[in-house]
Amino acid sequence: MKERLFGVTGHQGNHGEDVKELYYYLDSTPTHSYMKYLYKYPQRRYPYEELVSENMNRDRDVSEFEILDSDVFDEDRYWDVFVEVYPSLCALAMRR
Residue 20 near residue 8, CB atoms below 8 Å:
yes
Q: How many domains does the chain have?
A: 1
Residue 7 pLDDT exceeds 50: yes
The pTM (predicted TM-score) of the whole model is 0.69
Question: In this predicted model, what pLDDT tens digit does every residue of 40-58 receive, in sequence order?
Answer: 989 999 888 898 888 888 8
Query: Which residue, among 9, 84, 64, 72, has the nearest Cα to 41 in the 3D structure?
Result: 72
Under 8 Å between Cβ of 52 and 20: no
Residue 58 lies in a domain: yes
Range of the domain at 70: 7-95
pLDDT at site 3: 63
Instruction: Please write the tens of the pLDDT for every residue from 21-32.
Output: 888 999 999 988
Q: Is residue 73 part of a domain?
A: yes
Tell me, yes or no, whether 86 lies in a domain. Answer: yes
> Could you tell me if residue 2 is inside a domain?
no
